[in-house]
Amino acid sequence: MGWTAAAMKIRVLLLSLLLSVASAVPSLAAGERLALVIGNAKYPDAEAPLREPINDARDVADELKRDGFAVETGENLTAEQMRRAFDRLYGKIKPGSIVLLFFSGFGIESGRQSYMIPVDAQIWTEPDVRRDGFSLEKVLGEINSRGAGVKIALIDASRRNPFERRFRSFSAGLAPVIAPNGTLVMYSAALSSVVADSGGDRSLFVRELLKEIRVPDLTAEETLNRTRVGVTRASRSEQVPWISSSLAEDFSFIPGGSRPSTPSTQAKSPPPLPPPVQQTVTPPPPGKQQASIPPPVEVPPPPKQIEVNIPPPPPPQQPARTENALSDDPTIKSLTAKLNDNPDDSAALYRRGQVYASKGAYDLAIKDFNNSLRLNPKDVEAYNNRCWARTVIGDLQAALRDCNEALRLRPNFVDALDSRGLLNLKSGQTKNAIADFDAALRINPRLTSSLYGRGLAKRRNGSIAEGDLDIANAKAMDPNIVKEFADYGVQ
C-alpha cells in the first residue's frame, strides 16, 4: 500500500521536527565506560611505603563502579604488571569508548614528559626513567589510537620521589602533557611542583575529587574545575591542581541525576567558581618536539681555591646512620651482595654510595665514591656526588676540587653546577654561588634547588626582593626545599 501525498508531507515534517529537537540537545558521550586505577605505595627505595595511594585507588575504583565504569584495579604493580594492565585496557577499547586512567604513586618528569613509576623501577640516571617508567603521553596516544572518544587521566603523582638525588638535574613535579583531542588531564598539583606529605591515609586531591564526582549532572570539566577550587581553598593555595582539556563532546560522571545524590552532596551547595582555567598545550612545530638538548651555556670558570683556614668538618647535626643500621635496606642489601661477589664492581659501589647519601650516611657514601673513583677515575657522576656529600658535611676544600673536576670532564654539567653553587653558598662565596646557580637555571629553569639556593645567595648579597622572589617560587614548586637546605646546614 503506497503513501498518499499528504501522508508523505506529514512524515517529512515529523522527521525534520525530530532532527531539530535532537540538534538542540547537547551532545553527551555515551560510549562504554572503561577505567584502569593504579595505586603504587611500596617502593623499596623510599624510606617507608606511601600511606595514601592504596586507599585512594580503592575509593576511586568504588566510585567509578557506581558510575557505570568497568574498572580494573592494580596495587603495587611492577613494570611488567603495569604493562600487562595497560595492554588489557587497550584490548577492551572500542570506537567511542570512554576511558579513564587514575594513577597514584611516584611520577617523574624527564625529557618534557611525565612518567608513572612502577614499584620495581631501578632508577639511577635519567635515561632509566624512560626505560622503567610509563609515559603518560604515550599511554594516552595508544588509548586514542584504539578509537576512544573521551580520554580522562587523573594523576596524583606530584610527590617528591626517592630517586631525584641520583641525578640532580631532576625537575620537581610533572610536565605538561601534549595529549590527543578529546582528552581531559588533571594533575594533583601545579606543573613542576610537588605536594608536601599530608600525613593522612587519603590525599586531599582525592577527597575533593570524589566529593565533586558525586554531584549529578555536571560535565567532567565542571567536576574537575570544582575539584581544583576545592583543593586550592582547602590547602590555602599551597596546592593548586593543573588541568588541561581538549574535550570535543560533553561527558558527565552522573548524567541527568541517574544515580541518587549522597547526603553530603545535599548538605551544602557547591561553592561559587571562578572562570575555569583552560590550560592547553600547543604541540611544538614538526621536527622539534624531541629537541630536549639545552643550548650551550657559558659555564662560569672555577673560582679560585678557597685558601682560607676552614675549620674541620663539624659533627653531623643528627646521629650518623651506621652501616649496620642500613644493612636491611633492600636496595643496599642487593648492592652489597653484588659487591661481595665482585668487590671491583664500580657501578655497584657508585650506586650504593648514592643510596647512602640519600639516607644521610655521608661518610659511608664518600667511602663508596672513593672506591668507585679508584676503579674508574673518569666517573664524572661520582665526582659530583662526592662533591655534594663533602659539601653537606663541611669538607669544602675537597668538595670544590671534586666539583671542578666534574665540570672539567663534562662542561655544562647541570648537576655539578648545582652542587658547586651549594658549596659556594655554604662557604660564603655568594657571587660565585649566584653565577653557578644562574648557569644551572639557564640549562634547567625548574631546578628547584638552584632556584632556592640562588634566592638565599641574592639575599646575602643584598638583593632582598630578588632573593625573596626566587625563594617564594622554589617553595611553591617544592614545599620541602626549606627543610632540605636546613639539613645541609644552610638557611
Domain range summary for the chain, segments of one domain joined by +:
28-267, 319-377, 382-491
Question: Cell numbers at residue 452, please?
Answer: 632556592
Phi, psi angles (nearest 5°) of residue 185: -120, 135
CA angle 68, 70, 74 (to 5 degrees): 130
How many Cβ atoms sit within 10 Å of the Cβ of residue 323?
A: 13
Q: Does the structure show a pLDDT above 60 at 444? A: yes
Per mean pLDDT, which of 167-171, 242-246, 321-325 is the most reliable? 242-246
pLDDT at residue number 263 = 37
Rounded to whole angstroms, how far apart are CA atoms 194 and 156? 10
Q: Does the structure show a pLDDT above 90 at 328? A: no
Contacting residues for 341 by C-beta, under 8 A, at least 6 apart: none
CATH 3.30.70.1520 fits 28-267, yes or no: no
pLDDT at residue number 254 = 87
Collapse the DSSP code of 461 into the 3-class scheme (helix H, G, I; strand E, B; otherwise coil) and give the result: coil
Judge contact between 379 and 394, C-beta under 8 A: no
Sheet holding 134-135, edge to edge: 107-110, 113-116, 134-135
Burial of 12 (0-12, 13-18, 19+ CB in 10 A): exposed
The closest of 161, 110, 168, 172 to 138, measured between CA atoms, is 110
pLDDT at residue number 112 = 83
Question: Cell numbers at residue 159, please?
Answer: 610527590
Rounded to whole angstroms, how far apart are CA atoms 193 and 432? 27
pLDDT at residue number 315 = 41
The rounded mean pLDDT for the chain is: 82
One-letter amino acid at 184 equals L
Rounded to whole angstroms, how far apart are CA atoms 183 and 245? 6
- pLDDT tier for residue 359 given thresholds of 50, 70 and 90: confident
In whole angstroms, how far apart are CA 273 and each of 100, 187, 224, 235? 25, 19, 11, 16
Judge contact between 189 and 159, C-beta under 8 A: no
Phi, psi angles (nearest 5°) of residue 205: -60, -50
pLDDT at residue number 27 = 41
Domain 319-377 fold is: 1.25.40
Q: DSSP letter for 54, please.
A: H
Mean pLDDT of 397-426: 94
Q: Do domains 28-267 and 319-377 have the same CATH topology?
A: no
Q: Lowest-confidence range among 85-94, 202-211, 311-320?
A: 311-320
CATH class, range 382-491? mainly alpha
Question: Cell numbers at residue 301, please?
Answer: 670558570
Q: DSSP letter for 383, please.
A: H
**H/E element, 386:** helix 380-393
How many Cβ atoms sit within 10 Å of the Cβ of residue 203?
A: 25
SS3 helix, strand, coil % of the chain, rounded to 5?
50, 10, 45
Q: Does the structure show a pLDDT above 80 at 286? A: no
In whole angstroms, how far apart are CA 448 and each of 458, 480, 484, 485? 15, 10, 11, 11
In whole angstroms, how far apart are CA 174 and each of 105, 170, 213? 12, 11, 24
- pLDDT tier for residue 262 given thresholds of 50, 70 and 90: very low
Question: Cell numbers at residue 76, please?
Answer: 603495587
Collapse the DSSP code of 467 into the 3-class scheme (helix H, G, I; strand E, B; otherwise coil) and give the result: helix
- pLDDT tier for residue 167 given thresholds of 50, 70 and 90: low
| pTM for the predicted model, two decimal places | 0.69
- pLDDT tier for residue 351 given thresholds of 50, 70 and 90: confident
Q: Does the structure show a pLDDT above 60 at 21? A: no
Mean pLDDT of 27-40: 83
How many Cβ atoms sit within 10 Å of the Cβ of residue 441?
A: 21
Phi, psi angles (nearest 5°) of residue 37: -120, 120
Collapse the DSSP code of 33 into the 3-class scheme (helix H, G, I; strand E, B; otherwise coil) and give the result: strand
Count Cα neighbours of 307 within 13 Å in the Cβ-side half-sphere.
2
CA angle 376, 382, 385 (to 5 degrees): 170
pLDDT at residue number 30 = 63
